[in-house]
A and B are shown apart, each in its own frame.
Chain A
Amino acid sequence: MDGVGLVSYPTILFHKVDRRVSMGNIVFARLTGHDADMDTIDLGNLSTTGEETILLDLDSCKPEELTGHRIYVPAILINSIQGENVKVYHELQQYTFFDSVKEVILQDRERKGIFRLRREINGQKNNLVIASDLCALASIFGTMEKVVVRHSRLGLEPKHIIVMVRYSAGTMAHIDYTFSDKESLALEWSGTRRIIEFNSEEMNPVVPSRYLKATVQVHIVPIIRSAKDFVSVREELTSVLAFLGGEET
């Protein structure tokens, strides 16, 4: 991935944005709150465009202040910003392992099988996180036919949510979320021709893991490539949120 901004998950590139720079890509991503070292990396230019691209943590500044740039925000910020220059992406789709898994599953003519996704999210319970993931999964498994959602008891922490989905093409899926102070992601696909297993806690090339920036990394090119205009993502999310009982958390 020459010329691509490959940034470890907890990395913050610039804490402040120079609003005088010429039109550029400003990518907001969920960077903080992860259990790894933090540092600063100069991204350089995207070789494909020659334009400057800046990666910012969600909390580093308000997206609506950044006029004159193309703004890329994760779907969980859909309510924070809108405009012609705003593109929205689903976090799951920017992970390169997810892209690879998707490619392999799509090689099979049939989608019959069992998909299981397990996420521990460092943050507060947020139905938009789930809705965004379901939108990303729809790009593999198609239309959701039936959804069952179960929430853990009120008043207990961490919050846990189980989403069970039946897709029209046959796939059945279980997606389990725990909203706590930890970040991890595991998925399994049991198809008729192949079984795929991924666990961010195991796919770690550096041990002890505290020396690794992160096992799940933020990649800018997939974000820019997969991001869609605000209105279409808003429609996608609204449709999925209806299955989840709305944005209410």
Chain B
Amino acid sequence: MKIGMMSFAHMHAYSYADCLQNLENVELVGIFDDDRSRGMEAASKYHTSYYDDQQLFLELEMDAVIICSENVRHKEMVINAAKAGKHILCEKPIATTVEDAKEMIAVCEENGVILQIAFPVRFSPAIQQVKQLIDDGELGEIIAFRSTNRGQNPGGWFINREQSGGGAVLDHTVHMIDIMRWYLGKEIVNVDAFVDSFFHEGTIDDAGLLTIEFENGVIASHDASWSRSSVYPTWGDATIEVIGTKRTIKADGFGEYFRMYTNDSNPLTHVFYGSDMDAGLIKDFVDCVTQDRAPSITGYDGLKALETALDAYESAIRATE
């Protein structure tokens, strides 16, 4: 199977490329990137060809592309790739507006290509185990969720609203909303949120709390913030607590670590040794394409997660009125 990568603007691109290299029968045939220097460097690192022309790149003989551009460019790249007949794995969030996301989904359907959204948390063994317990009825009926997806401020284009479409709330809401929807099989009907900027000098949001209600009455609280400082022992977290009628259970996507104390500015570090959820995501996408099956995480999943993040922003605006 031949795969190309479109843009290394998002840091996850490097992890995904590493994962591709670890898969047998998968060839990274080329890298397109508007940023010539970044693209050439990545091409050199992964021993493949660099393309600065998107059209020429999409004319390559390849089955699929992985898109890791700035959020606002997802739409353009997804639509172009779909029209070129390439299956697509698109970094989250799917888009920055609901309209764009719907158009992307429609174009992919029209062109008969897979559109999968990169929600790697679904491939965390801990998160998957909870899903299994729920499906097996071990937790009883789900009553509520309590989740976090907190991290460090990534800086760069992430804090430029014109390129990212939003700050921490957009960046760190979609993962855990996707997990909750996956666990429940239900949709969100109400979102209340407080959004603010506390932890850096800029104006883009870096703090957000969401209170959510699903169509079946399940309630949830979620912390979507860039609230971890540079001296925090780890980059961040992806946690969920599921309160059921039979029992409550907690899962931490990054919970497999050991503590390391060093004599420097970061005296304590959590060294992660667990399974690489990105590897699970990439393998699933490759399997999806080679087996010609529906994606496990659809464009619609991406759209619903995006809607919740955008609803949070609207709720926060209403809260200040």
- Residues of chain A touching chain B, judged by Cβ–Cβ distance below 8 Å, are 112-114, 116, 118, 120, 146, 148, 150-153, 156-158, 160, 162, 164, 166, 170, 172-174, 176, 178, 190, 192, 195
Cα(A157)–Cα(B141), bound, Å: 9
The stretch of B81-89, B111-119, B129-137, B224-232 that contacts the partner chain: B224-232
Cα(A2)–Cα(B307), bound, Å: 57
Q: Is the CB of A150 within 8 A of B207?
A: no
Whole-angstrom distance between the Cβ of A48 and the nearest chain B Cβ: 39
Cα(A209)–Cα(B61), bound, Å: 62
Q: Is the CB of A116 within 8 A of B223?
A: yes
The verdict on A192 contacting B198 (CB below 8 Å), with A114-B207, A152-B219, A176-B146 known, is: yes
Contact residues in A for B194 (Cβ distance below 8 Å) = 146, 164, 166, 172
Q: Is the CB of A192 within 8 A of B199?
A: yes
The verdict on A150 contacting B223 (CB below 8 Å), with A158-B243, A164-B194, A166-B319 known, is: no
The verdict on A190 contacting B227 (CB below 8 Å), with A114-B207, A156-B141 known, is: yes
Q: Is the CB of B196 closer than 8 A to any CB of chain A?
A: yes
A-B contact pairs, 23 of them (CB 8 A): A112-B198, A113-B207, A114-B198, A116-B223, A146-B194, A152-B219, A152-B243, A156-B143, A158-B143, A158-B243, A160-B219, A162-B211, A162-B220, A164-B194, A172-B196, A174-B211, A174-B221, A176-B144, A178-B243, A178-B248, A190-B227, A192-B198, A195-B227
Cα(A30)–Cα(B227), bound, Å: 35
Q: Is the CB of A114 within 8 A of B225?
A: yes
Contact residues in B for A146 (Cβ distance below 8 Å) = 194, 319
Interface 0/1 of B180-219, CB less than 8 Å to A: 0000000000001010101100000001010101001111
Q: Is the CB of A153 within 8 A of B209?
A: no
Whole-angstrom distance between the Cβ of B47 and the nearest chain A Cβ: 41
Q: Is the CB of B232 within 8 A of A118?
A: no
Contact residues in A for B266 (Cβ distance below 8 Å) = none
Cα(A151)–Cα(B213), bound, Å: 10
Contact residues in B for A160 (Cβ distance below 8 Å) = 143-144, 219, 243
Contact residues in B for A170 (Cβ distance below 8 Å) = 196, 198
A174 touches which of B209, B228, B245, B248 (Cβ 8 Å)? B209
Q: Is the CB of B150 closer than 8 A to any CB of chain A?
A: yes
Q: Is the CB of B223 within 8 A of A114?
A: yes
Cα(A192)–Cα(B213), bound, Å: 30
Q: Which of A112, A151, A152 has the most CB of B within 10 A?
A: A152
Nearest A residue to B248, CB-CB: A178
Cα(A68)–Cα(B229), bound, Å: 54
- Residues of chain B touching chain A, judged by Cβ–Cβ distance below 8 Å, are 141, 143-144, 146, 150, 192, 194, 196, 198-199, 207, 209, 211, 213, 216-221, 223, 225, 227-229, 232, 241, 243, 245, 248, 319
Cα(A118)–Cα(B223), bound, Å: 13
Nearest B residue to A173, CB-CB: B209
Contact residues in A for B243 (Cβ distance below 8 Å) = 152, 158, 160, 178
Contact residues in B for A112 (Cβ distance below 8 Å) = 196, 198
Whole-angstrom distance between the Cβ of B255 and the nearest chain A Cβ: 13
Contact residues in B for A152 (Cβ distance below 8 Å) = 143-144, 217-219, 243
Contact residues in A for B198 (Cβ distance below 8 Å) = 112-114, 170, 192
Whole-angstrom distance between the Cβ of B202 and the nearest chain A Cβ: 14
Nearest A residue to B232, CB-CB: A195
Whole-angstrom distance between the Cβ of B223 and the nearest chain A Cβ: 6
Whole-angstrom distance between the Cβ of B198 and the nearest chain A Cβ: 5
Q: Is the CB of B211 within 8 A of A150?
A: yes
Contact residues in B for A120 (Cβ distance below 8 Å) = 248
Cα(A48)–Cα(B213), bound, Å: 51
Contact residues in A for B227 (Cβ distance below 8 Å) = 113-114, 190, 195
Whole-angstrom distance between the Cβ of B133 and the nearest chain A Cβ: 17
Q: Is the CB of A153 within 8 A of B217?
A: yes
Cα(A245)–Cα(B119), bound, Å: 38
Nearest B residue to A110, CB-CB: B198
Q: Which of B220, B232, B243 has the most CB of A within 10 A?
A: B243
Cα(A195)–Cα(B150), bound, Å: 12
Q: Knowing that A146-B319, A178-B144 are A-B contacts, what are 7 other residue pairs whose CB atoms are under 8 Å apart, sorted by A's residue number? A: A112-B196, A148-B211, A152-B143, A160-B143, A162-B144, A164-B194, A164-B209
Cα(A162)–Cα(B241), bound, Å: 13
B219 touches which of A113, A162, A166 (Cβ 8 Å)? A162
